[in-house]
Amino acid sequence: MMASFNLLVAVCLGYVAILFAVAFLADRIAATGRGRWLRSPLIYTLSLSIYCTAWTFYGAVGYAVRSGLEFVTIYLGPTIVMIGWWWGLRKLVRVGRSQRVTSIADLLSSRYGKSNTLAICVTLLAVIGITPYIALQLQSITLSFTTFSEADPSRGWSDVSSGLWVAGGLAIFAILFGTRNLDANERHHGVVTAIALEAVVKLVALLAVGIFVVWGLAGGVSETMARIDASPIGEWNVDPGRWSAITFLAAAAFVCLPRMFQVMVVEIDNERHLHTAAWAFPLYVFLMSLFVVPIAAIGLELLPEGTNPDLFVLTLPLSQGREDLAMLSFLGGFSSATSMVIVASMALSTMLSNHIVMPIWLSWTGSGASVSGDVRSVVLLARRVSIVVVLALGYFYYMLSGGGAGLAAIGLISFAGVAQMLPPLVGGLYWRGATRSGALAGLAVGAGLWLYTLLLPGLGGFLPEAVLQQGPFGLSWLRPHALFGITGLDPMTHAVMWSMALNTLVFVVVSLISLPDPVERLQGAQFVDVFEHSTGLRGWTGYVAQSEDLLVMAQRILGASDAQALFQREAKRQGARGTLPEPTPDFLQRLERNLAGSVGAAAAHAMIAQIVGGSSVSVEDLLAVADESAQMLEYSSQLEAKSAELSRTARQLREANEMLTRLSEQKDAFLGQVSHELRTPMTSIRAFSEILRDTEDLTPAETTRYAAIIHDEALRLTRLLDDLLDLNVLESGQVSLNMRSGVLAQVLEHALSAALAGAARKMIVHRRPETENIPLHSDLDRLAQVFINLISNALKYCDTEPPELTIRVQSQGGKVSVDFIDNGSGLTEEAQTLAFEKFYRVSGEKAGGAGLGLAICREIMQRLDGDVTYLPGQGGGAFRVTLPIRDDVKVA
């Protein structure tokens, strides 16, 4: 009885339908919040089994036929990683979860200062490395189809079209279940459950074939062992170099492969699953490899010479007339290939869309998510297109390579490619000093060497024969398989050794000589010390944001209901009224992580920065300006004299900004003003220092004049900062009042002499000394400050020549009022209401004060239990200061 090819296709489609149903149901159950088993450690462990692809399902037997027990290294590496989870995986998973990373590219980008350049490099490396691997899976599926169709000649069969059908079908599955939702956690219960089912199928299939071979064909364990020893692979013959190199590679790839990272770190529900997976996954791969050698040895014995050993798992049962077993085995191989391709394409599409498509889209649409269309649908579309692109690449690679034996080596080559991510990954998790430049340089060197010594020679035809034999340009020490004259090594060992060693070396050296930027340093600490502060402190300190803008953006990315729910929760947590939370650093950080789950860390950071950072001066802005100023100083000797002053200004700016941050929550508009006041003198400073730096033919007079402008503007900044600091001290109530007893006349005397000394205008002052002999108990210095301010204002703004000032003192009911009346035109009605607001200035007046003087006066007087008000109807500008009299003080 021959299974008809039609039956096979029907079984296949039925199986896929079951997978669909399982994935669909799991998604439904997960959405309702039920189904704890979906998040069980068992499902987690089974999902890890996508490590075992068709390459290992079918290929392990072929591998064993060619190289004996060497195949087992592919499983030994991951076994060591898994049982040693306490060393590495535990930290990786914790970091992955606390930072909400979506892929390995995202993790590395996030660690190294949210660098998208790094993410792009990792993504490209992954695509280059994984595409051939996907081609390998397509090949194995079509090959297994072919094996059956050869047995059933009634049916026409074409490898090419079947490859296309398979690729298309896999794309549809991956799109349907990998991109249904844009979850902040990037978890896909449907897909994970389906691949867990597939894991069971492939294990059962391989065990069934193995048991059939050992007990059905060979006649027991000892018989089997004897027949193995008698077979062509009966002796230990493994190259020690390859044994260690491949074990290492498999361990590295197990962590770095995008699909493994997806199931191991992104999809994990609970860190405790690692306890179970630590023994269950090694057990799984143990069982997967248990019968490989017996199948290989018996296959060699029973099957005709020239049978493809890669398909023994299929052809051995077929040759014994066990169609049912062959069918099961076929399903096992089919499961291995499909689960790998689905998860790999999903993982790669996440990376492609988050790190390449979205940044390009965001920069095209200009000002980002706050004004543009629906980001959510764009992300999903980008992922879907990326899945199709990844599978299309795999398909074309399969077509181009002709599906020959060259593909068989691709698995390991692919491993070696992704293993290049290991140094930056490990360095990033354990070494704070690792920098972005180091990671990029190491990756570039490692990936370059991998391309040159392994991938290109392995593809055949890409490198001319002459280069392989004599090296490029006849430089023999650059031969791809014998770098620096080290010959005699197996090409794989050679490539792994050089690429990993130089990758690590360059990574470490460049990290040591380069400086990380602040974000990088912060992230480095977060990653390395993840167990000390899992909740994190990376943040948005020092920004003012519009919560509404943030909500608008979040809705577009997370979806309206999710975003609103998130904001409401946050508002509740803050104890705020209404539905909008205050944009505290804490909240911004959580929001950023949520967004990062959808669009990646770098993009999320950029989006929030666009909204949050745009609204006021930030520490970084100011530092950048200060940095630039510092650099300009180095260029121009004229400016050197101002250096100390400028750097002091910059320091004060920073201090002022920190103080502003505290005020900012209620004082949006205030900050806008401060920004304006700080930026205006900065503009002049920057413009003229650039002129001094860039213009060669300035006359000495011009040089002096421009340096003087810079000087004046720096002074203006200083004054502004002094005033701001003063105001802050007063407003925060931290001021300590120096209460003393004294007489009003003395305070006025002191104030007048201070205000009028060195003034450009002369002012006539009318006083009645007999009224001023009033005892006070107050902070006399502060009081004098208020008087000085009022007198200076009169001096500055009185528009009559010559200016006259009348000081009138009245005491009444325990209070004394001191009026300052000038003979100018006074304040307009509008100005009267605004005069005490911060930054208010009489229009047209510029270079003088910052418009804080009266605001400060009012603060001082209120501290002293008095007040200062404008007094209308006095025929000129008039201010009244009131303060309590202390009547028990007798004046001498």
Partner 1 sequence: MTGRHVLLIEDEPNIIEAIRFLLTREGWKVDSHTHGGDAIEVVQRIKPDLLILDVMLPGKSGMDILQELRALPEYANLPVLMLTARGQMRDRDMAERAGVSRFMTKPFSNIEVLDAVRDLLTQTSRS
Partner 2 sequence: MSPEATRRRRRETVVHERQTYRRRRHRDAARLLAVLGTVLFAVPLLWERAGAEGGAVAMSSAIIYLFSAWAALIAISFWLGVTARHWEQDETGSTPNQDAETG
- Residues at the contact surface with partner 2, assessed by CB under 8 A: 68-69, 72, 76, 79-87, 90, 94, 97-98, 184-185, 225-226, 228-229, 231, 233-240, 243-244, 247, 270-272, 274-276, 278-279, 282-283, 286, 290, 293, 297, 534-535, 566, 569, 573, 590, 593-594
Question: Can residue 867 be called a binding residue for partner 1 (CB under 8 A)?
Answer: no
Give which of partner 1, partner 2, none residue 97 binds (C-beta under 5 to 8 Å, depending on kind): partner 2
Select from 709, 756, 765, 831 the one that contacts partner 1 (CB under 8 A).
709
For partner 1, the closer of residues 392 and 709 by Cβ is 709
Question: What is d(CA 882, CA 816) in angstroms, rounded to the nearest whole number?
Answer: 6
Question: Can residue 7 be called a binding residue for partner 1 (CB under 8 A)?
Answer: no
Give which of partner 1, partner 2, none residue 279 binds (C-beta under 5 to 8 Å, depending on kind): partner 2
Question: What is d(CA 143, CA 160) in angstroms, rounded to the nearest whole number?
Answer: 11
Which residue(s) pair with 142 in the sheet? Answer: none
Give which of partner 1, partner 2, none residue 609 binds (C-beta under 5 to 8 Å, depending on kind): none
Smallest separation, CB 675 to partner 1 (Å): 6
The tokens for 62 are 């072929």
Question: Can residue 643 be called a binding residue for partner 1 (CB under 8 A)?
Answer: no
Smallest separation, CB 512 to partner 1 (Å): 33
Smallest separation, CB 668 to partner 1 (Å): 9
What is the phi/psi pair of residue 869, to 5°? -135, 165
Smallest separation, CB 87 to partner 2 (Å): 6
What contacts 650, CB < 8 A, 6 or more positions away?
622, 623, 625, 626, 629, 630
Q: How far is CA 648 from CA 278, 302, 348, 641, in A?
A: 57, 87, 50, 13
Question: What is d(CA 638, CA 705) in angstroms, rounded to the nearest whole number?
Answer: 11
Select from 186, 198, 310, 713 the one that contacts partner 1 (CB under 8 A).
713
Distance of CA 11 to the CA centre of its chain: 44
Smallest separation, CB 684 to partner 1 (Å): 4
Q: Are 395 and 167 in contact (CB under 8 A)?
A: yes
For partner 2, the closer of residues 289 and 728 by Cβ is 289
Q: Which of 508, 590, 517 is nearest to 112 (CA)?
A: 517
Give which of partner 2, partner 1, none residue 244 binds (C-beta under 5 to 8 Å, depending on kind): partner 2
Give which of partner 2, partner 1, none residue 69 binds (C-beta under 5 to 8 Å, depending on kind): partner 2
Question: Can residue 519 be called a binding residue for partner 1 (CB under 8 A)?
Answer: no
For partner 1, the closer of residues 106 and 549 by Cβ is 549
Range in contact with partner 1 (rule: CB under 8 A) among 212-220, 231-239, 481-489, 707-715: 707-715
Give which of partner 2, partner 1, none residue 799 binds (C-beta under 5 to 8 Å, depending on kind): none
Q: Are 737 and 779 in contact (CB under 8 A)?
A: yes
Question: Can residue 787 be called a binding residue for partner 1 (CB under 8 A)?
Answer: no
Question: What is d(CA 596, CA 234) in angstroms, rounded to the nearest whole number?
Answer: 54
Q: Are 500 and 491 in contact (CB under 8 A)?
A: no
Smallest separation, CB 538 to partner 2 (Å): 13
Question: DSSP class of residue 883?
Answer: E
For partner 2, the closer of residues 406 and 536 by Cβ is 536
- Geometric angle at alpha carbon 262, from 565 and 333, rounded to 5°: 130
Question: What is d(CA 39, CA 396) in angstroms, rounded to the nearest whole number?
Answer: 37
For partner 1, the closer of residues 704 and 753 by Cβ is 704
For partner 1, the closer of residues 314 and 646 by Cβ is 646
Count of other CB atoms within 10 angstroms of residue 669:
11
Pairing mode, strands 804-812 and 878-884:
unpaired
Distance of CA 18 to the CA centre of its chain: 37
> Could you give the 3-state DSSP secondary structure of residue 558?
helix
Pairing mode, strands 764-766 and 804-812:
parallel
Smallest separation, CB 263 to partner 1 (Å): 40
Question: Can residue 574 be called a binding residue for partner 1 (CB under 8 A)?
Answer: no
Smallest separation, CB 851 to partner 1 (Å): 12
Select from 549, 592, 731, 859 the one that contacts partner 1 (CB under 8 A).
549
For partner 1, the closer of residues 57 and 706 by Cβ is 706
For partner 1, the closer of residues 70 and 620 by Cβ is 620
Give which of partner 2, partner 1, none residue 207 binds (C-beta under 5 to 8 Å, depending on kind): none
Smallest separation, CB 290 to partner 2 (Å): 7
Question: Can residue 846 be called a binding residue for partner 1 (CB under 8 A)?
Answer: yes
Q: Are 593 and 99 in contact (CB under 8 A)?
A: yes
Smallest separation, CB 362 to partner 1 (Å): 15
Please report, as residue ranges, which positions from 668 to 697 form the binding site for partner 1 (by CB under 8 A). Answer: 672, 675-677, 679-680, 682-688, 690-691, 694-695
Smallest separation, CB 678 to partner 1 (Å): 8
Q: How is 758-796 classified by DSSP, letter by letter?
A: T-SS--EEE--GGG---EEEEEHHHHHHHHHHHHHHHHH
Give which of partner 2, partner 1, none residue 276 binds (C-beta under 5 to 8 Å, depending on kind): partner 2
Which residue(s) pair with 881 in the sheet? Answer: 818, 868
Question: What is d(CA 443, CA 420) in angstroms, rounded to the nearest whole number?
Answer: 6
Q: Are 734 and 774 in contact (CB under 8 A)?
A: no
Give which of partner 2, partner 1, none residue 679 binds (C-beta under 5 to 8 Å, depending on kind): partner 1
Smallest separation, CB 685 to partner 1 (Å): 7
519 burial via Cβ count (<10 Å: 0-12, 13-18, 19+): middle
Smallest separation, CB 846 to partner 1 (Å): 7
Q: Are 855 and 838 in contact (CB under 8 A)?
A: yes
What contacts 145, CB < 8 A, 6 or more positions away?
8, 157, 162
Count of other CB atoms within 10 angstroms of residue 512:
11
Count of other CB atoms within 10 angstroms of residue 186:
22
Question: Can residue 663 be called a binding residue for partner 1 (CB under 8 A)?
Answer: no
The tokens for 545 are 């944001």
Question: Can residue 638 be called a binding residue for partner 1 (CB under 8 A)?
Answer: no
For partner 2, the closer of residues 80 and 842 by Cβ is 80
Continuous segment of H or E residues that includes residue 439: helix 436-450
Question: Can residue 244 be called a binding residue for partner 1 (CB under 8 A)?
Answer: no
Sign of the torsion angle spanned by Cα atoms 57, 62, 68, 71: negative
Question: Can residue 625 be called a binding residue for partner 1 (CB under 8 A)?
Answer: yes
For partner 2, the closer of residues 268 and 751 by Cβ is 268
Q: Are 764 and 804 in contact (CB under 8 A)?
A: yes
Give which of partner 1, partner 2, none residue 524 binds (C-beta under 5 to 8 Å, depending on kind): none
The tokens for 608 are 């929030």
Q: Which of 433, 454, 112 is nearest to 249 (CA)?
A: 454
Residues in the chain: 892
Give which of partner 1, partner 2, none residue 682 binds (C-beta under 5 to 8 Å, depending on kind): partner 1
What contacts 492, CB < 8 A, 6 or more positions away?
242, 245, 246, 412, 416, 454
Pairing mode, strands 804-812 and 815-822:
antiparallel
Please report, as residue ranges, which positions from 354 to 413 form the binding site for partner 1 (by CB under 8 A). Answer: 367, 370-371
Question: What is d(CA 623, CA 657) in angstroms, rounded to the nearest whole number?
Answer: 11
Question: Can residue 651 be called a binding residue for partner 1 (CB under 8 A)?
Answer: no
Range in contact with partner 1 (rule: CB under 8 A) among 300-308, 482-490, 568-576, 842-850: 842-850
Smallest separation, CB 569 to partner 2 (Å): 7
Question: Can residue 616 be called a binding residue for partner 1 (CB under 8 A)?
Answer: yes
Which residues of the shown chain bind partner 1 in the complex (CB under 8 A)? Answer: 367, 370-371, 546, 549, 610-611, 614-617, 625, 672, 675-677, 679-680, 682-688, 690-691, 694-695, 709, 712-713, 843-844, 846-847
